[in-house]
A = this chain, B = another copy of it.
Amino acid sequence: ASIVVLPGDGIGPEVASAGVAVLRQIAERFGHDFTFTEHAIGGDAIDRFGDPLPPATREACLAADAILLGAVGGPKWSDPNAPVRPEQGLLAMRKLLGVFANVRPLKLHPRAAALSPLKPERTKGVDLVFIRELTGGIYFGAKTRTDDAATDECRYTVGEIERVMRHAFDLARTRRKKVTSVDKANVLETSRLWRSVATRIAADYPDVELEHQLVDSMAMHLLTRPADYDVIVTENMFGDILTDEASVLAGSLGLSPSASLGGPGAGVYEPIHGSAPDIAGKALANPLGTILSVAMLLRHSLGLSTEADTVEAAVDYVMENGNLTRDLGGDATTHAVTRAVLDACE
């Protein structure tokens, strides 16, 4: 299998190389042949090629079996009025690959739960997955700007909603069989369409329960009763906000993986944390979010579920044994934690 690695900015290169090390170890142990090619994205790509998603990166991504991404962005490129910005690389890649379903599982590891800002009785039993629509909505709609005003259009087609909804229902079937669809149907036309498509698709899944939630209520329920949710599906902008809100429950951003799926080609796997420029180059970054993203890569893009289970079990083992980076209250380096995972994967 051919894996494209996009290290990106800040701690991106450090965590991406941890992910690659784990993939190499898995290849060796299970006798697979993985090839890795690195390409530029984000701020790093702007600095080197003047383009946050250079043509060589595009071509490589289109030809890959799977893509492992570090992180993108940083204060150096953070002027929102700059003509080219790192996150344009990310958005362009999502569109190029057509990865319309961003998947973010949220589970609380006991070690990290202690660090959650939420009281333990609230987070007990939390085991949910967000499906965020990733290639439509206000992110990609028409924009205008004059001296006096600006506009952004949010647009959804029936087809765009259908495919992400099916993704959510298919996933719910393999889990606790409950889908919560989040919208703002009391105000937005796109949300009324969203809700009607959700209801129609649900008819094809009589074994799965569908519930609708307004986005403002959802922002509350995620904190008051997160354990009540199984699969939560929502549009791009709401998903951006709610997944970040929910990620805080886990105690550390450093632990959470994500996958962007659904396109005709490769899926994109990345930790949910950002480029954390303040700790870049100091070996303080938690590699586990990336390593758990590697497990998702093995499972979803390569169909290697035993291998994925092995990686996840190794991460559990390492955490149980207190091999923790600073974000989890420990003092292990990125390398030490990665090494411990490699040993546990043997």
Binding site for B on A (CB under 8 A): 73, 80-81, 85, 87, 91, 117-119, 122, 138-139, 141, 143-145, 147-158, 184-193, 195-196, 215-217, 219-220, 222-224, 237-238, 240-245, 247-248, 253
Q: Could you list 16 A-B pairs, sorted by A, with CB under 8 Å?
A: A91-B187, A117-B122, A118-B119, A138-B188, A141-B151, A148-B157, A149-B157, A149-B158, A150-B189, A150-B193, A151-B155, A152-B154, A152-B189, A216-B241, A217-B244, A219-B244
* A122-B251 Cα distance, complex, nearest whole Å: 13
Contact of B244 with A216 in the complex, beta carbons under 8 Å? yes
**New A-B pairs, 17, CB < 8 Å, besides A87-B187, A219-B242:** A80-B185, A80-B192, A91-B187, A117-B119, A143-B189, A145-B189, A148-B158, A149-B155, A149-B156, A150-B189, A150-B190, A150-B193, A216-B244, A219-B244, A224-B248, A237-B237, A245-B245
**Which of A117, A122, A141, A191 has most B Cβ within 10 Å?**
A117
Contact of B241 with A219 in the complex, beta carbons under 8 Å? yes
In the assembled complex, which residues on chain B have CB atoms less than 8 Å from the CB atom of A216?
240-241, 243-244
| Closest B residue to A244 using CB positions | B216
In the assembled complex, which residues on chain B have CB atoms less than 8 Å from the CB atom of A248?
220, 223-224
Instruction: Write the nearest CB–CB distance from A115 to chain B, whole angstroms.
Output: 10
Contact of A220 with B244 in the complex, beta carbons under 8 Å? yes
Instruction: Write the nearest CB–CB distance from A294 to chain B, whole angstroms.
Output: 24
Instruction: Write the nearest CB–CB distance from A121 to chain B, whole angstroms.
Output: 9
Contact of B189 with A151 in the complex, beta carbons under 8 Å? yes
Instruction: Write the nearest CB–CB distance from A32 to chain B, whole angstroms.
Output: 36
* A219-B247 Cα distance, complex, nearest whole Å: 10
| Closest B residue to A194 using CB positions | B150
Contact of A138 with B154 in the complex, beta carbons under 8 Å? yes
In the assembled complex, which residues on chain B have CB atoms less than 8 Å from the CB atom of A187?
87, 91, 138-139
Contact of B149 with A193 in the complex, beta carbons under 8 Å? yes
Contact of A152 with B224 in the complex, beta carbons under 8 Å? no
Which of B118, B193, B215 is in CB contact (< 8 Å) with A145? B193
* Given known A118-B117, A240-B216, A245-B223, contact A196–B152 (CB-CB < 8 A): no
| Closest B residue to A158 using CB positions | B148
* A155-B156 Cα distance, complex, nearest whole Å: 18
In the assembled complex, which residues on chain B have CB atoms less than 8 Å from the CB atom of A81?
192, 196
Instruction: Write the nearest CB–CB distance from A154 to chain B, whole angstroms.
Output: 5
* A154-B122 Cα distance, complex, nearest whole Å: 36
Which of B145, B153, B217 is in CB contact (< 8 Å) with A153? B153
